[in-house]
Chain A
Amino acid sequence: MSHSAKLSLREIFGDRFSDETGLLFVYSYDAKFERTPDAVVFPVNSDDVSRLLSLATEEGFPVVPRGAGTGQTGGSVPVEGGVVLSLERMNHILELDCENLTLTVEPGAITGDIKSYVARFGLYYPPDPASYAFSTIGGNIAENAGGIHAVKYGVTADYLLGLEVVLPTGEVISFADKLYKNVTGYDLRDIFVGSEGTLGVITRAVLKLIPAPEAYATALVGFPDLSSIRRLASTIRSISASACELIGKNIVPVLMREFQLPLPPETRYLILIEFDGFGDEPRRLLDLMLSSFSGVSFFVARDEAERERLWDIRRNISPIIRANCACGVSEDIVVPPASVPEMLQFLENLPDEFPVKIFSFGHAGDGNLHVNICYDELFPERELEQLLEALFRKTVSLGGALSGEHGVGIAKKRFLNIYLSEESIRLQRKLKRILDPRGILNPGKIFDE
């Protein structure tokens, strides 16, 4: 990055520009990858963002938008250097519109803050990626984050009405704020959702809210084999469970021991199921679902404390995996919900071919599985690549895709052509070039240009 570009940035941003060593270090990473930037800026409005991007297009230096830096795939890491555009100071909740049930926010607002803010008014913003307490809404939109309740409520895109975006060339574009329907021209808004910060910088979003559910019914169901899980998928979707979290074979024995679960010892898989709604409807639906299964054992939470305890079991999965996994990678493949058992079977057979241990869990209701592949330090990288390729090929053969929530970033771009056709990649590159002719916005992500 040129000295003159840095001087111009200093002029625009004043003390909100920095290229000091300490600051560059702490803006070099997300949860998985790292690369030191040349400078960091802290815009406070879309005008700041616009001036930065205009300058970047003029001078040709990379700009990488970053929310809370909690991503798993390197989406906010400046892999080609340049400027990290931190949106942490654009973190305001701008307007709650109780008549239209919308909330207008800046991109740096923490999703958990948004959820607790609207909850005070009896309202609900459903998307809840595992990181919702510490990730930002801008990042959630850029990755189209899902979460535990996506099985009933859908993903971030389903709760997005309006969007203000600054294009890489500096133009600020607003998409209709509070319209629940709109077929006026192409729906360009959605190309920015899940675009991993490569097409534009989100500077304002209008979110859709719904009334908060008031009652819950939660159960932990134990399954002895995969065939009994197969029947679950269609039932879950037909009676709208709000969560359907699967816990795979390798994790179950540890949980059974640690939590002394009142389930038979032959339990191999656990599914945490929850229904939400109003009055006694959730409990009625849970009973209906449980009655449709024979031969499964289950434990129903009798009060809030027991419900919390069941969710505690789910929350303990990651620490258990970390404790059992010296080296590893984590993938978040997605398959059609009915194919989850077949995918699990494939994953269970993988250790026959490779010296690895697989811990799978995830959102069985929407087919999004978190696959943790653990190996020792001596496991050759070449074999890991073969394993990942086999995993992705199997996923795609079942009608699935490489990532349900985390995005491609730099982590999966070498496997992109397993899922996307050449034509599709070509079209996506063309779109990128139209919006970002000099390739300055978050270069090196999703695909090489």
Chain B
Amino acid sequence: MSERCVRCGKCNPVCPTYRVCGNELFSPRGRYLLGEELLSDRISATPDVVKPFLSCTDCYLCNLVCPVGLDIVEVVHKVREKFFVRNESRSRFSLSDFGIDYKGEVYKGKMSRGNGSVLLFPGCLVVDNFGDTLERLTELLAHLDIPFAIVDACCNYHDWFRGGKIRSPVKERTGFYVVCSSAYISLRKVAGIKYFLSFFENIFPVRLPANAVFLQEEASRSLGLVVVDRQIPSPGDLLSVFQQDSGMVRLIFERVIRDAGRDTLVFESFHNLAVFRSLFPDVRSYHIIDFIHREVMEG
């Protein structure tokens, strides 16, 4: 095993994906040690081994706290580079091997390229944790006769930070609304997503924070829902706060639960919902899409 990492585990609690998943596989220490094994071919690269490297958010907090100064994120990038090259002809694995674009396949028939379509940009962590909800979102869009497409890739923001070229989907798909069901995790990611979305800016309205807000606001109003995120100060920053101080986030949520006075909570940010569920697994919590879906599909 690694000669450089002292395996102290100091990096784990600052990692947003470890905080949400509670699983060493989605932790910086896990990724670093597993990454070294993969890169030196001591462990063979199967989808289950390589998948965790997609969910790293590149927030770099692990690098900041490492007592021996390891560049943990660099190992993640190297693994991505080796096993997830976007160019199909060079790719050892396609994202579909990891279930990342399976909905693209399932819903291919319902997609259209007409004007006013919706381009769904799920984001890897969301696909991993909220596959069912995403599926309902696509059903809903199809039911409402809103043509849509799914970006079957990650945003490539980490490549962009390293001077790489981001694939531009503009040429393939013009005239879409962009609905980004991923959300902020870190400043770097926000910047990456913004850069990615900037390809569309002159063509149609881009909504940020994304979270399908334009659809959700109207629907939640008509359903009389109180959406938790709008009761929380800076919902977009919640996960960043959680990385540093989960006690603070717990306090915020406790206040929200008390103030809401309801037994079920609704979120519009997948990431806030993930954080909430990790803290309060016994309180009923839903993503707003699930509610809208139920109301629309079941009348």
Contact = CB atoms under 8 A, between A and B. Distances in A.
Interface of A: 20-23, 25-27, 29-32, 34, 42, 44, 68-70, 86, 88-89, 91-93, 108, 110, 112-113, 116-117, 120, 131, 133-135, 318-319, 322
B7 interface: yes
Interface string B27-61: 10110011001000001101011111000000000
B106 interface: no
Contact of B23 (A42, A116, A117, A131): A42
11 contacts: A22-B46, A29-B33, A32-B7, A86-B24, A112-B13, A113-B13, A113-B247, A131-B10, A133-B10, A134-B9, A322-B67
Nearest to B247: A117
Given A21-B46, A25-B33, A92 B279 contact: yes
Contacts, number: 101
A29 B25 CA distance: 12
B9 A25 contact: no
Contact of A135 (B9, B23, B25): B9
A32 B2 CA distance: 11
Nearest to A316: B67
B6 A91 contact: no
Given A23-B25, A34-B1, A318-B67, A116 B245 contact: yes
Closest 5 CB pairs of A and B: A117-B247, A22-B49, A26-B30, A88-B22, A70-B9
A26 B27 contact: yes
Interface string B1-18: 100001111101100000
B54 to A, nearest CB: 13
A113 B10 CA distance: 13
Contact of A91 (B22, B33, B37): B22
Given A21-B46, A120-B247, A31 B7 contact: yes
B25 A22 contact: yes
A25 B1 CA distance: 10
Given A20-B48, A21-B48, A117-B250, A89 B6 contact: no
Interface residues of B, number: 38
Nearest to B53: A22
Interface of B: 1, 6-10, 12-13, 22-25, 27, 29-30, 33-34, 37, 43-44, 46, 48-52, 67-68, 245-248, 250-251, 278-281
A322 B10 CA distance: 16
A26 B1 contact: no
Contact of A93 (B27, B29, B43, B250): B250
Contacts of A26: 24-25, 27, 29-30, 33-34
Nearest to B246: A113
Contacts of A134: 8-10, 12-13
A322 B6 contact: yes
Nearest to A30: B7
Contacts of B245: 113, 116
Contact of B34 (A22, A112, A135): A22
B7 A22 contact: no
Given A110-B13, A117-B247, A25 B37 contact: yes
A44 B278 CA distance: 11
B9 A88 contact: no
- Of the candidates A22, A30, A116, the one having the most CB atoms from chain B within 10 angstroms of its own CB is A22
Given A22-B52, A319-B67, 8 more contacts: A22-B48, A25-B34, A26-B29, A26-B30, A70-B8, A86-B23, A113-B246, A134-B8
Contacts of B251: 117, 120
A275 to B, nearest CB: 27
A68 B24 CA distance: 8
A261 B173 CA distance: 64
- Of the candidates B12, B52, B251, the one having the most CB atoms from chain A within 10 angstroms of its own CB is B12
Contacts of A319: 67-68
Given A91-B22, A108-B22, A117-B247, A21 B7 contact: no
A88 B23 contact: yes
A69 B9 contact: yes
A42 B22 contact: yes
- Of the candidates B6, B7, B27, B67, the one having the most CB atoms from chain A within 10 angstroms of its own CB is B7
A156 to B, nearest CB: 18
A21 B25 contact: no
B17 to A, nearest CB: 13
A96 to B, nearest CB: 10
B22 to A, nearest CB: 4
Nearest to B7: A31
Contacts of A108: 22
Contacts of A31: 6-9
Contacts of B34: 22, 25-26
Contacts of A70: 8-9
B24 A27 contact: yes
A141 to B, nearest CB: 17
Contacts of A32: 7
A86 B21 CA distance: 12
Given A42-B23, A92-B279, A23 B10 contact: no
Contacts of B281: 44, 92
B74 to A, nearest CB: 19
Contacts of A21: 43-44, 46, 48-49
Contacts of A25: 33-34, 37, 43, 49
A2 B34 CA distance: 26
B1 to A, nearest CB: 6
Contact of A131 (B9, B37, B52, B248): B9
B257 to A, nearest CB: 14
A103 B6 CA distance: 32
- Of the candidates A27, A44, A88, the one having the most CB atoms from chain B within 10 angstroms of its own CB is A88
Contact of A23 (B48, B246, B247): B48
A92 B283 CA distance: 13
Contacts of A133: 10, 13
Contact of A116 (B27, B49, B247): B247
A186 B30 CA distance: 42
B285 to A, nearest CB: 14
Contacts of A30: 7
B274 to A, nearest CB: 13
A322 B68 contact: yes
A31 to B, nearest CB: 5
Given A113-B246, A116-B247, A120-B251, A69 B8 contact: no
- Of the candidates B9, B27, B29, B51, the one having the most CB atoms from chain A within 10 angstroms of its own CB is B9
Contact of A68 (B9, B25, B46, B279): B9
A21 B50 CA distance: 10
A322 B248 CA distance: 34
B255 to A, nearest CB: 12
B58 to A, nearest CB: 20
